[in-house]
Structure 1
Amino acid sequence: FFKGQDIVRGFKYQGIGPRQNGVALGGTNYANASAEVTFPLPLISRDFGFRGAAFADAGSLWGLDGSGSQLGIQGEDFALRASAGIGLIWASPFGPLRVNYAQPLAEEEFDRTQEFSFGFSSRF
């Protein structure tokens, strides 16, 4: 697996997990937990479709399949990463659009962070 902001906001894609000489290797295991609360924004009419969000994420990516050289590998063991942040969600006609700001709270020295992220999803 290659993970990052999809399980712990505040980290880049391929931003967590095992690395060899700075290159993401992916991992064989991952776990994550997330809590989010959304709320109407004061002073903005609900008709515009905007909502605020506050969230906390935690997760890890670890383990290798054992193939290849083991020299210079960092982050093969379970190490919890965590972040907290806020977001703005717009219920657009095409589906929800969101921008998040996340601050990593627990990270490894070799992780790649990304405080701002953008997302789009569809409605069913």
Structure 2
Amino acid sequence: MRFAARLAALSLLAPLALAACVPGQGTRAPSWPDRVTFQGTVMRVSFIDGTVCRANISGQYTGDLAGCLHPMRYQVTRFEPSYLGGVGVGNIFQPYAEVTLKDAQGRRWSFKTPEPIPSRSQPDGVLKLPH
């Protein structure tokens, strides 16, 4: 009988212990940026949780992602606009840019645009000559 009482008490306490591990309302699980793209001078940062933040870098290559759920500081060290970027073909022609993002804990992420096109026929860096 004592075993059954202890088992019943444990079954009541287990959900409470698990609930203590779940983040409270208003807190978010950590996220990090996974992609940076540009449309003209507007930088778009996508995070792994689906959040998207934007910053207009026109003339200002360092700043904060204002109004973003994941506050980050950005620095664009190289920005060369694409002359074909605004001709109505979408995001095919990305500017050349090197972007560093930094969060409040000091973690850094680096990105380059445009993203390299993966090769399907050979590994990156391998030149396949005709026979």
Q: Which has the higher strand share?
A: 1
Calculate the TM-score normalised by the size of structure 1. 0.35
Which protein has the larger Cα radius of gyration, Structure 1 or Structure 2?
2
Greater RCO structure (CA 8 Å; 6+ sep): 1
